[in-house]
Amino acid sequence: MKHVLTVAGSDSCGGAGIQADLKTFSALGTYGMSAVTAVTAQNTTGVLMVQEMPADLVAAQINCLFDDITVDAVKIGMVSSSEIIATVAGCLAAKGARHIVADPVMVSKSGHQLLQPAACATLIELLLPLADVVTPNIPEAEVLINGSINTLADMKQAAREIYRLGPKHVVIKGGHLAGEAVDVLYDGRQVELFAGPRLATRHTHGTGCTFAAAIAAYLARGFTVKEAVRAAKAYVTTAIAHGLPLGRGHGPTHHFYALYKQAGVLPE
């Protein structure tokens, strides 16, 4: 079994962040490990409180795993400050981490700022060049290119611009545009589109985390980036299609629908 590490924030309601990542890793047949960068008090309606972890504790979590266990892929989610970003980038570079998927988390679906505005430049400078795949949603891509994205053509152009910031592959997620949910992959040579039906649901808490974690799990399992993105898109579409109507806001996606169905233990 392959081993995948998530470096991200904890989401107490279990829909996004570390919890979404670990569920995704498990559902996709990999062993999940975590380095917590921040603890959030969060439910389906919003983020109530955030406590960042000390940078040396983040470093210790990452280093002790690499010192003991083979890490086949790494997913990076919420890394809220310049200090934590520099620490994570430094540790991963020093350990020669492979298959790094960076999800540049900036604002939660409920509207809470999860990246300090002053840390955006550090994310661009230190994290993007380390990433094999970077997975901005449309608002995040707009910040990275300092421009607006309204069409598929804009997404393709933005993917080219973000590629110049240093990642080996860029996937711009189309969850925030209207029409089909189309994700755009750029590898420095070709643009590839991954389209899926737009599902009419408000239970989309953690979709971006789930998608990036699934790419990391598939890369760990030996898929190419293109194969991993295709498989991750299929996984997140099923997870959204069976999203759980928990709480009063944006409920979480369902990570185990296919497995439960296969096992004949699908609960109500």
Ligand X SMILES: Nc1ncnc2c1ncn2[C@@H]1O[C@H](COP(=O)(O)OP(=O)(O)O)[C@@H](O)[C@H]1O
Ligand Y SMILES: Cc1ncc(COP(=O)(O)O)c(N)n1
**In degrees rounded to 5, what are phi and psi of residue 249?**
-120, -130
**Contacting range for ligand Y; rule: CB under 6 A; set: 180-188, 189-197, 206-214, 230-238:** 206-214
Residues numbered 73 to 92 that lie near ligand Y (CB under 6 A) are 77-78
Examine the residue annotation and report whether 209 is marked as an active-site residue of this protein. Answer: yes
- Residue with smaller CB distance to ligand X, 89 or 239: 239
Q: Hey, how many other C-beta atoms are within 10 angstroms of the C-beta on 146?
A: 7
Q: Is 174 in the site for ligand Y (CB under 6 A)?
A: no
- Which residue among 14, 208, 243, 251 is the active-site one? 208
**Binds ligand Y (CB under 6 A): choice among 14, 104, 136, 208:** 208
Q: Is 183 in the site for ligand X (CB under 6 A)?
A: yes
Q: What DSSP string runs through 161-201?
A: HHHTTS-SEEEE--TTSSSSEEEEEE-SS-EEEEEEPPP--
Examine the residue annotation and report whether 206 is marked as an active-site residue of this protein. Answer: yes
CA dist 179 and 177 (Å) reads: 7
Q: What DSSP string runs through 114-159?
A: -S-GGGHHHIIIIIGGG-SEE---HHHHHHHHTS---SHHHHHHHH
Residues numbered 20 to 79 that lie near ligand X (CB under 6 A) are none
CA dist 252 and 235 (Å) reads: 14
**Binds ligand X (CB under 6 A): choice among 137, 157, 169, 219:** 137
Give the torsion sign (CA, 245, 77, 147, 111): positive
Examine the residue annotation and report whether 208 is marked as an active-site residue of this protein. Answer: yes
Q: How far is the CB of 105 from ligand X (least distance, A)?
A: 7
Q: Is 140 in the site for ligand Y (CB under 6 A)?
A: no
Q: Is 211 in the site for ligand X (CB under 6 A)?
A: yes
Interstrand relation of 169-172 and 181-186 (parallel, antiparallel or unpaired):
antiparallel
Which are the catalytic amino acids?
173, 204, 206-209
Residues that bind ligand Y (CB under 6 A): 8-9, 11, 16-17, 40, 42, 77-78, 105, 108-109, 114, 205-209
Residues that bind ligand X (CB under 6 A): 137, 173-176, 181, 183, 196, 198-199, 204, 207-208, 211, 233, 236-237, 240
